[in-house]
Amino acid sequence: MADKASNAPDEALSLEPRGEDLLAICFTAMASPCEVLLPSTTAPTAALELGTLVAQEAWRVEKKFSRYRSDSVTAWIHENRGTAIEVDRETASLIDFAGQCFELSGGLFDVTSGVLRYAWKFDGSDRIPERAAVARLLPRVGFNKLQWRSPRLLLPDGMELDFGGIGKEYAVDRAYDSLAVRCSAPFLINFGGDLRANRSPPHGPWQVGIERPDTDRRATMILDLNHGALATSGDSRRFLLKDGVRYGHILDPRTGWPILHSPRSVTVAASSCTEAGLLSTLALLQGARAREFLEEHGVRYWLLQ
């Protein structure tokens, strides 16, 4: 989710035409530009109403799970470390999901790995941490160290929970569900590049532009989407460079050190944005084996080295 603190969501929604066939309702959430695309034949009042539904769901999820907000469930969980608490159903299902991903990924996907940021500051410099500094943080990482039996959670002292890795994609799916019951027209929801569409508009598939992280020579890649979700995980802007070795910001929670030789970005197509986001993150965590991982799992993907 957001990398910089956002104390209040930007409440403004704007309506913009997109070519001849589409209408976009735009807003900002989770520090990303968000939009809902609808056919241009939609009446403006209906479009604003539907756009508001989506925006409100995005702001709700952001407010509830952001680690930067003092009034979020995440903050409340952290305030109550060391004691058993009872979480609501939505939080419980997210923690269940995080647990399943932890198991299925062999420990690579770990929502408790956020504490490693105390050792690693990815500011493009060559200041990599001391081995001892990283080693001191490792005992505070490990989903298996939580005491979790839905809905009761006990987060040990020193540990943190961070839903940032799946929050934006989860928000896309939640917004999608709330819109799908109200809207039978074709639509596409896009939160900063994580997106999902119900079906293609009459003029042809949705044309999705995926921006290349370090725009040197490569132009935007255009994909055609009929329906389903796309999520992109990337490694480009935040890194450290020392002695010719590039330390990307994707860290292996088992060692505390960056995964080497990851692709710069992975875009995955799946039926839900959460699934797509998870697969793209897991792929990046495989480092040099990212492509093999995606091939083995029969995933539709686009990879940039």
Q: Which of residues 259-278 bind another protein (CB under 8 A)?
A: 269-272, 274-276, 278
Q: Given the structure tokens 């991982």, which residue do they identify?
A: 293
Token pair belonging to 175: 């917004």
Task: State the nearest-atom distance from the C-beta of 181 to another protein, in Å.
Answer: 11
Token pair belonging to 158: 């020193």
Residue 162 found at the interface with another protein (CB under 8 A): no
Q: Given the structure tokens 């890194």, which residue do they identify?
A: 239
Instruction: Name which position in 157, 222, 243, 244 contacts another protein (CB under 8 A).
Output: 222
Instruction: Name which position in 125, 144, 147, 226 contacts another protein (CB under 8 A).
Output: 226
Residue 116 found at the interface with another protein (CB under 8 A): no
Q: Given the structure tokens 């997109």, which residue do they identify?
A: 18
Residue 215 found at the interface with another protein (CB under 8 A): no
Nearer to another protein, 12 or 222 (CB): 222
Nearer to another protein, 221 or 241 (CB): 221
Task: State the nearest-atom distance from the C-beta of 222 to another protein, in Å.
Answer: 4
Q: Which amino acid is at 219?
A: A
38 and 47 Cβ atoms separated by less than 8 Å = yes
301 and 266 Cβ atoms separated by less than 8 Å = yes
- State how far the Cα of 196 lies from the Cα of 297, in Å rounded to an integer: 21
Residue 93 found at the interface with another protein (CB under 8 A): yes
CA 165 to chain centre: 5
Residues with Cβ < 8 Å from 224, sequence gap 6 or more?
A: 204, 205, 206, 207, 208
Residue 60 found at the interface with another protein (CB under 8 A): no
Residues of this chain that bind another protein (CB under 8 A): 93-94, 96-97, 100-101, 104, 170, 173-174, 177, 180, 200, 204-205, 217-230, 269-272, 274-276, 278-279, 288, 291-293, 295-300, 302-305
